[in-house]
């Protein structure tokens, strides 16, 4: 009996055959480098392999969004908008995808609808083909404005569910979120295990349930932190996942994602065979090995597996940044304490999925609690805004201790879509940055990150006003 016969005699694999080949999306230039080298890769290091990546057969290339925009202007002194246009010059076949934080866009707080519309329209014009939209609380109300703008620009909208475990998350809650995404125009649903903490059975069960509930493709994205994700990808393929997110092996595993080469090899001769030839990735992998060595000062400290992620659920990208921040404070030895406290903080916050910005919020509060030795002795403004409901509906109830500290004068938390309370801001902020911004993209760069944005524009234009 050959391998092919074996798989087709297995009833689960035989049933999965109807879904056809598993598609793969590369996330090397966004989440791969974000998880492994703190998003420090420069565009010049991407260009040499773009055409090879384009010709390989990936079904999407995620290369923008997340922390890439912030990193470009804060650390690399690069125009993030030019990165998109550069990719478009070299990538002719593969759709370019960006990860968008719903109403938060690429920042950490909600923006008014006029800013959301302008940003999404500008990103579409620059060359983004797929807008993968999520909300850190799975509050799809916060994704409506971005989805509407992307669809109006003739682009594809896909809905990203923050897949996690807690006393308030279950298969039915994820189905509800998926249905809400489809209602606002999503043409695919993603399950994103940003911490690598979901077991294979949970992944398969949830994928199967969502595929039954909605009539759009279901994709799976997970990090390898907990050591279960390659098995989870196998089970996801058996359950009918239509696409899996991968990295080239040099940027894979650890806090990052499964390696494309491995997934292609393991699915070969199964009913979900990708049809791709992983040997063609060898020259790309050699280049990325050199690139990773170039950025070795930013490489994550996580080697192998950290099963504690099942408890603290800190995602790969956040973990690498947290390691860097603790090192700067000379308290790297207290990482385990911070991770344990993060689990307690998350419960107090009502079990938000630890996606941006809530991974940062949870990590910040945990760090402050550990350093001060007193829980919630100081609360940053973002924590107060969260408790007041300015980010949206929390999955579960917030602890009474936190509510008491924030709502000292009483009052009720916000229950409407938070952006409904925000006044239009684009024109006001455009006037605020004035002639330093030469284009609408410049204005949007400033709006995303006012401090770093202004500093970047001053360097970009040498502090000179237009003639």
pLDDT tens profile 143-180: 999 999 999 999 999 999 999 999 999 999 999 999 99
| Sequence-distant contacts of 413-417: CB under 8 A, at least 24 apart | 413/387, 413/388, 413/389, 414/388, 414/389, 414/390, 415/389, 417/141, 417/142, 417/144, 417/392
Cα atoms found within 13 Å of the Cα of residue 430, Cβ hemisphere only: 14
Q: Average pLDDT for residues 47-54, to the nearest whole number? A: 98
pTM metric for this prediction = 0.93
Strand 23-26 with 60-65, pairing: parallel
Question: Which of these, 104, 139, 108, lies nearest to 120 by C-alpha position?
Answer: 104
Residues 6+ apart with CB under 8 A from 66: 30, 31, 34, 39, 99, 106, 317, 356
Q: Report helix, strand or coil for 71.
A: helix
pLDDT for residue 425 is more than 70: yes
Owner of token pair 């030019």: 82
pLDDT tens profile 269-285: 999 999 999 999 999 99
Please, what is the angle between helix 229-239 and helix 260-267, to 10°? Answer: 50
pLDDT at 409: 63
Q: Average pLDDT for residues 50-79, to the nearest whole number? A: 97
Average pLDDT, the chain: 93
Domain boundaries, the chain: 16-298, 309-418, 425-461
Domain 16-298 matching CATH 3.40.190.10: the answer reads no
Q: Average pLDDT for residues 422-434, to the nearest whole number? A: 98
Asked whether the domain spanning 309-418 has the same topology as the one spanning 16-298, the reply is no
pLDDT for residue 286 is more than 80: yes
Strand 130-134 with 156-162, pairing: parallel
Q: pLDDT confidence of 1, banded at 50, 70, 90? A: very low
Q: Is there a contact between 242 and 23 (Cβ–Cβ < 8 Å)?
A: yes
pLDDT tens profile 75-111: 999 999 999 999 999 999 999 999 999 999 999 889 9
Strand 189-193 with 156-162, pairing: parallel
Q: Nearest 5°: phi and psi at 175?
A: -60, -45
Q: Which CATH superfamily is domain 309-418 in?
A: Conserved carboxylase domain (1.10.472.90)
Q: Average pLDDT for residues 314-322, to the nearest whole number? A: 69
**Given its phi and psi angles, is residue 330 left (phi above 0), alpha (psi -120 to 50 degrees) or beta?**
left
């Amino acid at each position: 009996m050959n391998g092919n016969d074996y798989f087709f005699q297995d009833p689960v694999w035989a049933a999965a055959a109807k879904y056809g080949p598993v598609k793969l999306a590369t996330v090397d230039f966004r989440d791969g480098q974000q998880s492994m080298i703190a998003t420090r890769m420069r565009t010049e290091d991407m260009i040499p392999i773009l055409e090879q990546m384009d010709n390989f057969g990936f079904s999407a290339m995620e290369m923008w969004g997340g922390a890439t925009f912030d990193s470009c202007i804060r650390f690399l002194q690069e125009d993030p908008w030019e990165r998109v246009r550069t990719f478009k010059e070299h990538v002719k076949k593969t759709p370019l995808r960006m990860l968008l934080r719903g109403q938060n866009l690429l920042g950490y707080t909600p923006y008014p609808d006029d800013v959301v519309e302008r940003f999404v329209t500008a990103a579409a014009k620059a060359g983004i083909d797929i807008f993968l939209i999520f909300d850190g609380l799975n509050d799809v109300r916060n994704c409506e404005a971005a989805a509407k703008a992307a669809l109006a620009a003739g682009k594809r909208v896909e809905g990203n569910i923050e897949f996690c475990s807690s006393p308030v998350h279950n298969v039915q809650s994820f189905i509800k979120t998926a249905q809400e995404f489809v209602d606002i125009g999503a043409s695919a649903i993603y399950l994103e295990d940003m911490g690598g903490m979901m077991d294979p059975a949970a992944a398969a069960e949830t994928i199967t349930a969502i595929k039954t509930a909605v009539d759009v493709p279901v994709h799976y994205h997970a990090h390898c932190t907990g050591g279960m994700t390659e098995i989870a990808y196998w089970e996801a393929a058996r359950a009918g996942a239509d696409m899996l997110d991968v990295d080239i092996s040099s940027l894979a595993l650890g806090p990052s994602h499964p390696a494309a080469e491995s997934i292609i090899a393991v699915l070969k001769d199964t009913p979900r065979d990708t049809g791709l030839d992983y040997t063609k990735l060898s020259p790309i992998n050699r280049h990325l090995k050199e690139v990773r060595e170039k950025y070795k000062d930013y490489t994550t400290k996580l080697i192998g597996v950290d099963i504690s992620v099942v408890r603290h659920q800190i995602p790969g990208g956040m973990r690498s940044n947290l390691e860097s921040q603790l090192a700067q404070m000379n308290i790297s030895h207290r990482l385990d304490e911070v991770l344990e406290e993060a689990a307690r903080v998350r419960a107090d916050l009502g079990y938000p999925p630890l996606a941006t910005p809530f991974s940062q919020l949870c990590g910040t509060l945990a760090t402050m609690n550990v350093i001060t030795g007193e829980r919630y002795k100081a609360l940053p403004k973002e924590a107060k805004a969260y408790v007041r409901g300015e980010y949206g509906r929390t999955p579960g109830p917030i602890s009474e201790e936190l509510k008491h500290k924030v709502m000292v004068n009483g009052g009720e938390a916000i229950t409407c879509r938070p952006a409904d309370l925000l006044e239009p801001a684009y024109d006001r902020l455009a006037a605020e940055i004035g002639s330093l911004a030469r284009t609408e993209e410049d204005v949007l760069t400033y709006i995303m990150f006012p401090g770093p944005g202004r500093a970047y524009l001053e360097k970009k234009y040498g502090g000179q006003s237009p003639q």
